[in-house]
Amino acid sequence: MSEPNRRKVLETGWKLGGALLFGAAGYTAYEALSPLSTGAAGGTITIGTPANFASGTSTYFAEGRFYVVNVKDQFFALSQKCPHLGCKVPFCDSSGRFECPCHGSVFDLAGEYIAGPSPRGMDRFFMNVKDGNLVVDTGALVTGPDRGTKTNFTPPTGPGCIGKG
């Protein structure tokens, strides 16, 4: 190892100083850009007793951006956001399915994948029962079921809204 001299020490000092400056600038940029928690999402929402939701229906909750569906008395809170590219997936009353108008992904009543480019079924929020009421936790998102899952398969009840279904 060669002897340290003034030139080398200064050179290393400049390099370290520069790295520190860039690191600090990068971290500050990251902090400035990181989303602030607004409190809009992540809370729990009480949506009423299970009896409010008839079997085979879907009910939309705008404040939590999710649908509550009753599939043969099994309840799911489905995120409205299409797993494909984030469009809002509307419920089609005639087919009884979720049909995304953006790219044509189709999901059955339980949010399981039927057709289209979506990589999986619709994501779900965690839900439990408290004092007889259904409570949806919008902070706990569960990744949707894989393609091919047919655990709660329901056939279409009629023609699709966007011609697929």
Q: Which residues bind another protein (CB under 8 A)?
A: 30, 33-36, 38, 41, 62, 65, 81, 84-90, 99-104, 117, 119, 162-164
Q: How far is the CB of 119 from another protein (least distance, A)?
A: 6
Q: Is 48 left (phi over 0), alpha (psi -120 to 50) or beta?
A: left
Of 13 and 43, which has the nearer Cβ to another protein? 43
Least separation in angstroms between residue 93's CB and another protein is: 16
Work out how close the CB of 159 gets to another protein at its nearest, in angstroms, rounded to a whole number: 13
DSSP string for 8-24: HHHHHHHHHHHHHHHHH
CA 110-43-41 angle, 5° bins: 80
Nearer CB in complex with another protein: 50/101: 101
Considering beta carbons, is residue 66 or 76 the nearer one to another protein?
66
Phi-psi map region of 111: left, alpha, beta (phi>0 left; psi -120 to 50 alpha): left
